[in-house]
Each structure stands twice: as C-alpha cells, then as structure tokens.
Structure 1
C-alpha cells in the first residue's frame, strides 16, 4: 500500500483546527509542522532533485563564497 501525504497551509488557526478535527473523525493521522519544518522539507525535496552528475572544484566554491 502506497502512503501519501497532504500538506495544508492555513491562513488562520480556526480553519486549521476544523481541518484537524475532520481528519481525526475520518480516522486519519495528522501532524502539525512548524514554519521551520516546512522550510526543511522544501530544502530536502530540492536536494533530492539536484543534478549530482556534475562537479565543481573547491576553488570555484571558495570564489563564490568570497563573492567573486
């Protein structure tokens, strides 16, 4: 069985509480994520999509960090 997840971002707490109550009544699980958790999840997705077939030298990275 494939598990899927749904992320819902609400503009106010009362709407979010209503959705959480509906999820609970349906017998489904839910988890609240902080703004930091959402950012971390986004970064994780981007890292998984990154093209790792190309490499750069350490010097190139250091030049970028130095602002050159």
Structure 2
C-alpha cells in the first residue's frame, strides 16, 4: 500500500475511534521513532544537497585552472 494511502487510512481510523496517533502506531516510543526517522531523512537530504553543490563547484574549479 502506498504511503499516502496508509497515512489517510490511519487518520480516518484515528478520527472514527477517537484515539491518539501513538495508540494507532503502537506506543509513544514508536511515534518517537517515526519522528526521528523523518528528522534524519530530512537531515540526510539537506546534507546530500549541500554535498552535491559543493562537489560541482570543486569539479569546475579544477577544470578551468
């Protein structure tokens, strides 16, 4: 199942049964791990973009000396 559809299903389940997101995911620990994974993915994405632009500058700088 696609991620977007899974998130929509979780939200519907949460609204129908009037429960918290941590009880849908299993516990507060699991919810914290999901947030940690999201934060680490964001950090890796930013670092990869920075590395991509820096490596291109170095490559062209050496080429036109």
Q: TM-score by structure 2 length?
A: 0.30
Bigger relative contact order, structure 1 or 2 (CA pairs below 8 A, ≥6 apart): 2
Q: TM-score by structure 1 length?
A: 0.29
